[in-house]
Structure 1
Amino acid sequence: MNELLAEAWEKALEGLVLHRDGQVLYLNPKAEELLEVSREKVVGRPLLLALRDHRLEALALHGGERTLEVRSRTLRVRALPGRLYLLDETELSRRLEALEEATQALAHELRTPLAGMGPPCPRCGSQEVVLKNTFGATLCKMLYQCAACGEVFEAFKTV
């Protein structure tokens, strides 16, 4: 059973660092990749030598769970007594950021209809107007702002 577990951790997608008394006992290949260290150089040596980050060391020694930016990666780190688990969430973070940007762009487009769909600006005649509010001073008017000159004006709703 122990051989099966050891083989599983050697092929795991999650990094694992085993430590005791501030010394590294084991580092699986994924942890080696995520921490950018060589197992041969850090096993049996101080934990900080393998982690090379005081936030990771503090988490490993005191326990807890956090998401940290480490060596240009977003790592989800979970620390239990003698064990430090590392999960690379870099790609997930990038996808979430891209989704957030797309959501903000879409929200902007929904709040701000395409320019030129409203009435021309009464001050400068520009067709580049932005709908500011679907209700003006009365229910039959809408509030617009000219993108060219900045004039805010009302116009009757079209039927």
Structure 2
Amino acid sequence: MSTYCQPQSVSTQLSQIGTLDIIKGALTRPIKAKDKVIASQSDQYVKGFNPKDIAANWDSLSDLECATIKITLQEAFWNACHELKEAITLWIGRITIAANHLITAKQLPTDQQIADRLVGGLDNSWSSIRDTVVYPSVELSLDNTIGALEAHFVCLNGNKGTSD
């Protein structure tokens, strides 16, 4: 049996919070502010804009925009997928550019993360080279991973050229 107190109904729960008028059985309305207070404040302050806090508002907007940009750049890097008809050099270039954008946003991906993204985003038709790169006894560097992908692409194109 639980040791927590479980409310019996919604009205009990709301009355505990203090938002339900028990006598009438209705929700209470907030008390209206006095007209003097509203008249003394500027219209801009009532709308949510406070001129005294403009520096803080700009700082918070700037921080929000920076965070949004970082998330967008991370999404472009981590969710990129290789298309079957796309040349492997274009795929490598797209991941490299996305990694460079992350570096400029001070989100430093390691060479191993870039290599993992190159291999992890490959189309399923590249599963043989993906398994070769992912499961070796020694972890491959970024340059070796790029070299293996380009060599596999050359082998695929060489085989297609001789069979025609």
Q: With structure 1 as the length reference, what TM-score do the two structures score?
A: 0.26
Greater percentage in helix:
2
Greater percentage in strand:
1
